[in-house]
Structure formats: structure tokens, C-alpha cells
């Protein structure tokens, strides 16, 4: 039985487009990457258009879950060390998020549902936590924690608010 090559191309393209989300568990291990740390997980789902995410994870047991639903959301997430976690969600439009974690067992959770919100989280050390939620428009939040066992929480429901947390 002969297959129509146009049909096979269409089927392959449909499967690629409909797969939707790629997870680290879906990747095949190759010998050339044998020296890279194991146990890092990244799950990214971008449903809107023109959303961009860059993720760099080094070390071991890093986790991340990133969801962007709106339009033109940008996220840059970098984790190095051991056991760091980050969860981010940007449902609105034109939101910007930057997360950088170094050390061990640091956590971040950021939610930005409005539009034109900007959040920056930098954590170095161990067992630091940060939570940012911005539901309005034009909000800016910055959390910087250096050391160990720092905790921060920022919630901004209105518009054009600014919050800065620094803990050394």
C-alpha cells in the first residue's frame, strides 16, 4: 500500500503543532550531554502570541513551571545550585518577569494577571522564599534576598504601584 507523501507531511505537521507542551521528561538522553546534572525539570506553556521565555537551569534538582497566556509576555528565569523552585504565571499582556536564583532550596512564586506589570526576583543563599502577585496594570515589584531563610511577600491589586524588598 503506497502512502501519499503530502498526507504524511500534513500528519507530521499536525502532530508537531498539536503536541503543545514539551517537558524535560520528553527529551532523549544523549551521550554528549552525560556530564550535565540530572533531575532538573522545566514545564513551559505559552498559549497566547509573541510570548517569550528563556530558562537556564544548572546544578541539580531544579524545578520550574512557567505559564504565559496573554500576548507579548516576557520571562527570563535562571536557576543555579540545588533544589531551587520557581513558579510563574502571566495571564495578561506585556508583562515582564526576571528570576535569578543561586544557592540551595530557594523558592519563588509570581503571578501577574494584569498588563504592563514588571517583577524582578533575585535570591542568593539558601532557603529563601519570595511571593509576588500583581493583578492590576503598570505595577513594578522587586525582591532581592541574599543570605539564608529570607521571606518576602508582595501583593499589589491596584494600578501603577511600586514595591521594593531588599534583605541582606
Long-range contacts of 13-21 (CB under 8 A, 24+ apart): 20/45, 21/45
Portion of the chain with pLDDT greater than 90, in percent: 55
What's the mean per-residue pLDDT of the chain? 81
The pLDDT value recorded for residue 22 is 42
**The pLDDT of residue 2 is above 70:** no
CA distance 130 to 98: 13
pLDDT in tens, 61-94: 888 888 889 899 999 999 999 999 999 999 989 9
Nearest Cα to 98, choosing from 69, 125, 77, 124?
Answer: 77
**Domain layout of the chain by residue ranges:** 39-167
The pLDDT value recorded for residue 59 is 87
pLDDT in tens, 128-157: 999 999 999 999 999 999 999 999 999 999
Task: Tell me, yes or no, if the pTM score tops 0.85.
Answer: no
Amino acid at each position: 500500500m503506497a502512502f501519499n507523501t503530502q498526507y504524511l507531511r500534513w500528519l507530521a505537521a499536525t502532530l508537531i503543532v498539536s503536541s503543545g507542551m514539551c517537558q524535560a521528561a520528553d527529551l532523549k538522553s544523549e551521550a554528549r550531554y552525560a556530564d550535565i546534572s540530572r533531575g532538573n525539570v522545566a514545564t513551559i506553556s505559552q498559549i497566547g502570541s509573541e510570548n517569550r521565555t528563556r530558562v537556564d537551569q544548572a546544578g541539580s534538582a531544579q524545578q520550574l513551571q512557567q505559564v504565559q497566556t496573554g500576548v507579548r509576555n516576557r520571562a527570563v528565569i535562571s536557576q543555579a545550585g540545588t533544589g531551587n523552585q520557581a513558579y510563574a504565571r502571566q495571564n495578561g499582556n506585556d508583562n515582564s518577569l526576571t528570576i535569578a536564583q543561586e544557592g540551595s532550596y530557594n523558592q519563588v512564586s509570581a503571578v501577574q494577571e494584569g498588563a504592563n506589570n514588571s517583577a524582578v526576583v533575585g535570591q542568593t543563599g539558601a532557603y529563601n522564599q519570595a511571593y509576588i502577585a500583581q493583578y492590576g496594570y503598570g505595577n513594578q515589584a522587586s525582591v532581592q534576598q541574599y543570605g539564608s531563610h529570607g521571606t518576602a511577600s508582595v501583593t499589589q491589586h491596584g494600578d501603577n504601584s511600586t514595591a521594593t524588598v531588599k534583605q541582606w
